[in-house]
Structure 1
């Protein structure tokens, strides 16, 4: 992507990280992975891989076209998929989130217009009461606790403490991701304002959430969708800026924060938006998103890009088994790194073929 006025004027940051280096030592190849049997109107919205041979997917499969419902939770054990019963969940409910670490697995969504939360305990899911009034749930299991973002514009995020959800003031309107390093957590989404089209970043010090000013790029709106606190002084944020202009209607956002300064990271020119970011056990950084070749008739396609963090040299991995074009959904986690390994798991929604899963 050519440097833009947004980069030069609105950001006013240090020079982009452009140091050349060899590609990743062992570039992986993504392979299509079989999915469990799903109905034609299925959507898969989240993936997590907290341990070797333990990969979770969630979503829903419509009972008929344009009639969302019937929640889906499956786990891959290295050989086959196993489905799970969701307690006290009607067929009209929708699951949208699975968050998992070695400390636990949580799922969340909406049931009958109210938030639904469940925790995996001793081989099955157990419903956990959500805070009163919450309409949708996307719990985040982190080393700094289990977090539950409040409804947009409420300025509240909840943390599980004992058997209760404790509210914390959040200097953001919309929280799309919470990630932690030790007892400190980071959140990204939309900042306070008249609407939620300005990116927001917040940092949890261990006791309170503090706003971290992030320069809004020039555009019709933008959002940060994921954050990676790689070290105490190297925090990555990723998202999408909606330019509604030429040559493409969107452009990616990727920046690193050293505790004082945001630095933009140069990306492959074909990348037009970013979704989820993670690191593998070797320290390499991987990001899912969409790419689009030049040309008026080109269509966006799902990709994963990866680099060593100290000298940026991107590897672009194509997601196999995709339909005619990739679809971007704000806030969906589409990438996981299998803990204890460097295996990638990637969810993609494609048109007209629907969800695909790839690994490598």
Structure 2
């Protein structure tokens, strides 16, 4: 196990979000340019280096899934079975022969085994918000609820969770981390191969009585487990606005520390930077990319194609390297009557 859960507790840290060092450069590497209106939702890099992205597109009023694979330095469209109409919002892979993607609307589950695509559907209204493919016979999917779905190589089974869990990250089959919330508190949970348990935490101070906290993403970088999210509460003269404080939690063995930025929208995604630090996506529309080294947070605006706004929704690191991918959509500025969106790839390293 990289990080122990022992007596880990949240300790309120110093404010974060101020640039302390030069931030490595991100760049737009490609847009999809597919027929119709399209957007990418998620990206993953398998331990083998096989790199995949998923999303959706609209052509002549019909929805089609998008799956693309990185070939050399170019992202290429992957041929899918005719008739598939499910938009895809989550993807993860353990190799080029074990790729899983999940639908955002109808609970679809699609699988590539290196030779062919197959599809199925979760029952009971389960729609995955995140997933991790540990191996061909070990896949976890979560949906923000109190049960997960687990693939054992033959079938999907339901597994009870100790909190509302919307994000999951596996180090190994017996060392899996997850994040979400319980009531109004942000929660980190851990799977040891036999059971899920909540890691003990302390409550953050509330700026308002109705403030809630939740973790939106969780990952591992070096010896650290990182969970990111936000604290939110009603604000404004009539209480009809929502205010946020970005939140990041670092667990290292039995020691832990949280960082709460004084302003800005919530942190949405996190990925290792390949050097023991962390990248955080803050917001979605024209978001910030925050680089964490030690206790220092350095923020910079995400790049975008000239004349366009971007909406970024995912981060993924290629293990053993400093390469980190982000994906989303690119849309013309100026609010045109019929804007055409394209999927966009952004890379660091």
One of 45, 50, 58 as aligned partner of 2:46: 50
**Alignment partner for residue 141 of structure 1, among 133, 149, 156?**
133
The answer for the alignment partner of 1:236 in structure 2 is 226
Q: 1:36, 1:52 → 2: CA distance?
A: 24
Q: Take 1:224 and 1:276, find their aligned partners in 2: how far apart are those partners?
A: 10
**How far apart in 2 are the matches of 1:301 and 1:259?**
35
Compute the displacement of 1:108 (Å).
0.9
* Alignment-derived partner of residue 85 in structure 1: 79
TM superposition shift of 1:13: 3.0
Deviations 1:23-46 (A, max 9, x none): 36xx53111121222345322110
Q: Would you say 1:301 and 2:286 are equivalent positions?
A: yes
2 CA distance for matches of 1:339 and 1:80? 19
Higher relative contact order (CA 8 A, sep 6+): 2
Deviation of the 1:351 alpha carbon: 6.0
Going from structure 1 to structure 2, the CA distance change for 1:61 and 1:52 (only over 3 Å counts) comes to: same
Aligned to 1:97: 90
Which sections of structure 2, spanning at least 5 residues, go unmatched? Answer: 1-8, 334-340
Q: How many aligned positions are there? A: 318
Residue 159 (structure 1) aligned with residue 146 (structure 2):
no
**How far, CA to CA, are the matches of 2:298 and 2:91 in structure 1?**
27
Aligned with 1:59 (options 55, 59, 73): 55
**2:266 match:** 273
Query: After superposition, where does 1:1-360 map in structure 2 within 5 Å?
Result: 13-16=11-14, 23=21, 27-50=23-46, 54-63=50-59, 69-87=63-81, 90-91=84-85, 93-102=86-95, 104-110=98-104, 113=106, 115-127=107-119, 129-137=120-128, 138-142=130-134, 145-149=138-142, 152-153=144-145, 155-173=146-164, 175-182=165-172, 183-191=174-182, 193=183, 198-214=185-201, 215=203, 218=206, 220-230=211-221, 234-245=224-235, 249-258=243-252, 262-265=256-259, 267=261, 271-290=264-283, 301-308=286-293, 311-321=294-304, 327=311, 332=313, 334-349=314-329, 354=341, 355-360=343-348
Which residue is 1:3 aligned to? none
1:100–1:106 contact (8 Å) kept in structure 2: yes
RMSD: 3.6
Contact map agreement 2:144 2:167 (CA 8 A) in 1: no
**Local SS of the residue matching 1:305:** strand
Unaligned ranges ≥5, structure 1: 1-10, 292-299
Contact 1:17-1:264 within 8 A present in 2 as well: no
- Report the Cα distance in structure 2 between the residues aligned to 1:51 and 1:206, rounded to whole angstroms: 20
Is the partner of 2:14 in helix, strand or coil? coil
- Residues 54-109 of structure 1: CA distance to partner in whole angstroms, max 9, x if unpaired? 43221111235xx6721110112124332223347532x21111112348321111
Deviation sequence 1:305-338 (CA, Å, 0-9, x none): 1122xx323333432216776658xxx5x11112
Please state which structure has a larger fraction of its residues in strand.
2
Q: Secondary structure at the match of 2:24?
A: coil
Match of 2:4 in 1: none
Structure 2 contact 20–298 (Cα < 8 Å) conserved: no
